[in-house]
Amino acid sequence: MKLQLLSRAKSAARRLIPFVSVTVLVLTACWFTTDRAAALYILTDEDDATIVLEQGADVADFSSKMVYIGTNASGFELTLAAGRPVTVLYNGASISTTSRQETVSQLLDRVHTVPGPLDMVAVDLNDTGLTLSVASDLTYYERVTESDSFQTVYEDDPTMEAGTQKVVQTGADGVRSAVYEVTYSGGERVSRQLVSEEDSTAVDEIIRVGTAVAADIPVDSGDRVVDVTKNADGSGTLTFASGATRSFSTVKSMTATAYTKGHGGADSYTATGTTVRVGVVAVDKRVIPLGTKLYIVSSDGKVTYGMAVAEDTGVRGNIVDLYYDTYQQCIEFGRRGATVYVLN
């Protein structure tokens, strides 16, 4: 059972959830007078449910093994159960006593502890007893559940034209558990800082952003190369039937195989997190870096795979694994030599 009390003159009523079994009871000197209506009580039970006690509040049958709530002509009154060990910490001294059937203020009076005008009292309740810490400066940790807005995450997609975007996951706001460090001085709250966030239910919105320039994508996916011009350094230019051209930095002679999802351990996503599709190939990233754009034809010229992007892994050495939609297409392609143009 945790207990909190904030002076009405210093703080508005609010929910304060305890953290690491520490709850703060903030009092001004007037709390120790008979004017109980000048104090605002906030009690938090073991389920972190909060009850705010102020004049006119409706409190239905609340009681615990440690604290009981009563009222008098001026307002509410907190009474401690008898027979519980109590430690009072004040000005570097520690006083041990046992609670009687008495209010918190009566207990402090009994052990000759009178807080100064700017002092506050922190009350830490546990299953067996309580600790009262009297000081003018107190810091405690407050755990709250609060709304949490979703974040927007942008991911580059080399298969989409530059300037285009696609939402692949819609964001959703949620709630989170958050821990704040709260500091009081002289009865006033002077700071409240977020120290950690936990267990957010918010869902990030994911937007893919195209990074390919328009010239990188042939107008027609069936566009075929009709001419290859090579330079002395191994680079060159591919000319397509449509008239479009693409430059390449080098040409590789590789062994080509084929794969599809649901066979050989392949699933619906590549090693880079993209969705498998025709035009995705798996490579050894030591041979061809991931993200590299390629144009692939079989060495005998009978099969043109066409434009491709190295987005997957799972092969080793001088092998390029071509994604097809069906297992039958993979069987038909088999294993053959391939000419791989590494595009700029």
- Residue 118's φ and ψ, nearest 5 degrees, are -105, 0
- Distance, in Å, from the CA atom of 307 to the CA atom of 293, rounded to the nearest integer, reads 7
**pLDDT on residue 173:** 95
Give the model confidence (pLDDT) of 9-33 as tens digits.
Answer: 233 333 333 333 333 343 333 333 3
- Distance, in Å, from the CA atom of 220 to the CA atom of 280, rounded to the nearest integer, reads 17
Asked if 136 and 146 touch (Cβ cutoff 8 Å), the reply is no
> Where would I find the H helices in 38-149?
104-110
- Distance, in Å, from the CA atom of 13 to the CA atom of 137, rounded to the nearest integer, reads 20
DSSP H or E stretch at residue 147: strand 137-148
Going from the N-terminus, what domains does the chain have, and what CATH number goes with each? 2-135 (no CATH), 143-211 (2.20.230.10), 215-343 (2.40.40.10)
Token pair for 196: 């950690």
HSE toward the beta carbon, residue 294, CA cutoff 13 A: 30
Listed residue (257, 272, 283, 256) closest to 159, CA to CA: 272
**pLDDT on residue 202:** 93
Token pair for 233: 């350094």
Under-70 pLDDT residues of the chain:
1-67, 69-70, 72-76, 123, 125-127, 159-163, 187, 212-223
> Strands of 205-212's sheet, edge to edge?
152-161, 205-212, 165-169
Asked if 85 and 98 touch (Cβ cutoff 8 Å), the reply is yes
Asked if 231 and 251 touch (Cβ cutoff 8 Å), the reply is no
Give the model confidence (pLDDT) of 173-231 as tens digits.
Answer: 999 888 888 787 776 778 889 888 878 899 999 998 877 654 444 434 456 888 899 99
Asked if 25 and 4 touch (Cβ cutoff 8 Å), the reply is yes
**pLDDT on residue 222:** 59
